[in-house]
């Protein structure tokens, strides 16, 4: 008797989850509420039920977490956005020229009536848009360099941050205001330095103004700048301060 009940439970449980099919949907972030994401009727595990005389009903299996970002039509199985979808909040990047564009939210959808009951697996990829500009930690900073510094001496500069990913993250830097005193050095890992290109003469110039601009590769490109004042000093150490 006990064995028979166990077999029935196992057989029934095999119907709860679709046979390995995952509905792949996508939606751009920051779209208006009620934007159509897609329909669960595209799943092969639903197609074989559509010829039934009984109407199917669809619901989310859960109601909290990222389920709150979406709504599902009980009759059509259409999924829409129900709140603002912010990719940067859902899937923060590593803030350093991130190239990963994957931001997938997994949803479970139940199918009723009970004799057709199953759980459909849905994966919603939130597509990045260029909704952020590169920005430096501070818009203005001051650096110091000794007058006796040799050509090639470098001053580290804080990098720009852009929460977007791929081509919408920071792609390159330029000196957009400079003199022949410094050149910009950018490493493969996107570390930044101002490199001394010629000797300093404190009696002639006590400070230098430089502007570095970071760009992404969006269309149009977005950018952000930092304005740097380099003080020509007699001190034996370098320092950074915010203006």
Instruction: Please tell me the predicted confidence (pLDDT) of residue 41.
Output: 87
Instruction: Please tell me the predicted confidence (pLDDT) of residue 21.
Output: 80
More confident residue, 12 or 145: 145
Q: What is the CATH number of the domain that holds 214?
A: 2.60.40.60
- Residue-wise pLDDT for 57-108, tens only, equals 999 999 999 999 999 999 999 999 999 999 999 998 765 555 566 899 999 9
Would 133 be classed as within a structural domain? no
Query: Domain boundary at 104, 127, 150, which?
Result: 127
Mean pLDDT for the stretch of residues 42-54: 74
Using the predicted structure, report yes or no on whether residue 141 has a pLDDT greater than 90.
yes
The number of distinct structural domains making up the chain is 2
Residues 100 and 9 in one domain: yes
Using the predicted structure, report yes or no on whether residue 174 has a pLDDT greater than 90.
yes
Instruction: Please tell me the predicted confidence (pLDDT) of residue 185.
Output: 96
More confident residue, 69 or 13: 69
Could you write out the three-class secondary structure of the chain? CHHHHHHHHHHHHCCCEEEEEEEEEEEECCCCCCCEEEEHHHCHHHHCCCCCCCCCEEEECCCCHHHHHEEECCCCCEEEECCCCCHHHHCCCCCCCCCCCCCEEEEEEEEECHHHCEEEEEEEEEECCCCCCCECCCCEEEEEEECCCCCCCEEEECCCECCCCHHHCEEEEEEEECCCCEEEEECCCCCEEEEECCCCCCCCCCEEEEEEEEEECCCCCCEEEEEEEEEEECCCCCCEEEC
Instruction: Please tell me the predicted confidence (pLDDT) of residue 98.
Output: 55
Query: Domain boundary at 127, 150, 171, which?
Result: 127
Range of the domain at 85: 2-127
Residues 120 and 145 in one domain: no
Residues 176 and 238 in one domain: yes
Would 132 be classed as within a structural domain? no
Lowest-confidence segment of 165-169, 186-190, 206-210, 238-242 by average pLDDT: 238-242
């Amino acid at each position: 008797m006990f064995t028979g009940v166990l077999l029935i439970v196992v057989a029934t449980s095999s119907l709860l989850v679709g046979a390995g099919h995952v509905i792949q949907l996508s939606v751009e972030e920051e779209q208006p509420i009620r934007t159509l994401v897609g329909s669960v009727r595209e799943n092969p595990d639903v197609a074989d039920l559509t010829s039934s005389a009984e109407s199917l009903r669809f619901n989310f299996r859960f109601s909290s977490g990222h389920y709150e970002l979406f709504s599902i039509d009980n009759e059509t199985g259409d999924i829409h956005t129900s709140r603002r979808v912010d990719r940067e909040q859902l899937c923060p990047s590593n803030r350093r020229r991130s190239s990963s564009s994957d931001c997938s939210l997994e949803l479970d959808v139940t199918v009723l009536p009970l004799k057709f009951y199953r759980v459909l697996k849905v994966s919603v990829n939130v597509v990045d848009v260029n909704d952020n500009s590169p920005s430096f930690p501070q818009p203005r900073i001051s650096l110091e360099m000794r007058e006796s510094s040799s050509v090639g001496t470098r001053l580290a500069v804080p990098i720009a941050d852009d929460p977007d990913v791929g081509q919408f993250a920071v792609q390159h830097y330029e000196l957009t205001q400079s003199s022949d005193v410094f050149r910009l050095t950018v490493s493969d890992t996107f570390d930044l330095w101002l490199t001394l290109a010629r000797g300093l003469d404190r009696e002639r110039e006590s400070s230098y103004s430089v502007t570095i601009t970071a760009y992404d590769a969006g269309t149009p490109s977005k950018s952000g700048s930092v304005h740097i004042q380099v003080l020509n000093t007699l001190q034996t150490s370098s320092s950074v301060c915010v203006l």
